[in-house]
Structure 1
């Protein structure tokens, strides 16, 4: 079971990953992202607000304060450096990266992470396409979820969140970061997007929920 500190960090990371630097992230989005009840979100948001890590706007949501951003950048940076090391150097799959990275990101040695980052060649992004943030550069470049694209659009997959079901599905249809999809149809009743990948003709289906975890840098 995760301790209270880990739970708080999960919320901070979820807010960051949903562009909670520049805009407010709704409680509904956090509930969806973290797989927890709305009541749990409300309770944790109140704690983080009391810790001055979040700015809360009624009926709108939350975004990170300067103090919250400072803490979150370090957590995200450490996590993604570890992910890159595990993926590039040790051959872990995208699916297996997340939980081990969460364990290792709590190492309290800034020099270790700086040296590991340099050893990896100072990469700009992690294997999931998220930026490896610094104090100067901490805005995600891929912030538009696939759920916002319409029929006829051809967005590139630039980032995917660490969600097991989404990563497993992407692997099953051989969809990867860097691929381009072509949206052929949107079934609004069933909340499903039908698309092809790159130059292939085989149609695939993506639920609205899954599409909210995959991002493109093109608006």
Structure 2
């Protein structure tokens, strides 16, 4: 007996949107791994039990928003990816608007945007984006997808942790840091575009001693340095 393919999809709920966006963020498109995003990783990121995540992934697969295989993991379908990218675009435009127009600091905007991103009309998002001057990146340096869900490739960035001692670099992006970590970075003068030089590092992936904008030196945890993406200034 042939199985008839679903021809219509149920409109995604807020919870579904959160799942699809989370799966997108957990994907590793440039990795050589043959597996998809794992259930345990989704559960950890959303702080939900694996059993609940499994049930939700099956529902999303039934609606053709993702492909789910128990031993492979999950991957987004075209329709699932479009929803995920819409949420990413809404979130990053909101963060930018909160900083540029309402005076929020970069450690305050994620929680606000997580709530508001689900309730914005396409018209309002575009008006906010145009009012901001059509920015390409949010306050943390993350690229803003265009209206079609496409991210324009940017210059190659590398983690600060992989930068050579005494090599001057500029901070271009901060990925997935907590409000407390963002506040610490701000307290030592860190900002997008900041000039950073690693002056020393403790062995065995120990703390780094860094200089920010030719000012005083500061200590930086190695794990945090992995989340700071930098570029080497052109000669």
Verify same fold: TM over 0.5: yes
Q: Does 1:176 align with 2:191?
A: yes
**Alignment match, 1:47:** 57
Q: 1:106-125, aligned counterparts within 5 Å?
A: 106-125=118-137
CA distance in 1, matches of 2:220, 2:100: 28
| Contact 2:17–2:83, Cα closer than 8 Å, also in 1 | no
Gaps of 5+ in 2: 1-13
| Contact 2:20–2:76, Cα closer than 8 Å, also in 1 | no
Gaps of 5+ in 1: none
**Alignment match, 1:158:** 172
CA distance in 1, matches of 2:109, 2:153: 20
Q: 1:1-219, aligned counterparts within 5 Å?
A: 4-5=15-16, 7-9=18-20, 11-15=22-26, 20-23=28-31, 34=45, 40=50, 47=57, 50=61, 53=66, 66-134=78-146, 135=148, 137-139=150-152, 141=154, 143-162=157-176, 163-189=178-204, 191-200=206-215, 202-218=216-232
* Superimposed CA distance per residue, residues 124-150 of structure 1 (whole angstroms, 9 cap, x where no aligned partner): 111111111113741563652222223
Q: Which has the higher helix share?
A: 1
Go from structure 1 to structure 2 and tell me whether the alpha carbon gap of 1:5 and 1:136 turns closer, same or farther (over 3 Å shift): closer
For the aligned residue pairs, the C-alpha RMSD in angstroms reads: 3.8
Larger radius of gyration: 2
Paired residues, what number?
210
**TM-score normalised by the chain length of structure 1:** 0.75
Tell me the CA shift for residue 15 of structure 1. 2.4
CA distance in 1, matches of 2:105, 2:195: 21
Tell me the CA shift for residue 68 of structure 1. 4.0
CA distance in 2, matches of 1:14, 1:105: 16
| Contact 1:21–1:69, Cα closer than 8 Å, also in 2 | no
**Alignment match, 2:6:** none
Tell me the CA shift for residue 212 of structure 1. 2.4
Runs of 4 or more, structure 1, over 6 Å off, are none
Secondary structure of 2:84's counterpart equals helix
* Superimposed CA distance per residue, residues 99-142 of structure 1 (whole angstroms, 9 cap, x where no aligned partner): 11111110151111112211211111111111111137415636
Go from structure 1 to structure 2 and tell me whether the alpha carbon gap of 1:147 and 1:65 turns closer, same or farther (over 3 Å shift): farther
**TM-score normalised by the chain length of structure 2:** 0.71
Secondary structure of 2:170's counterpart equals coil
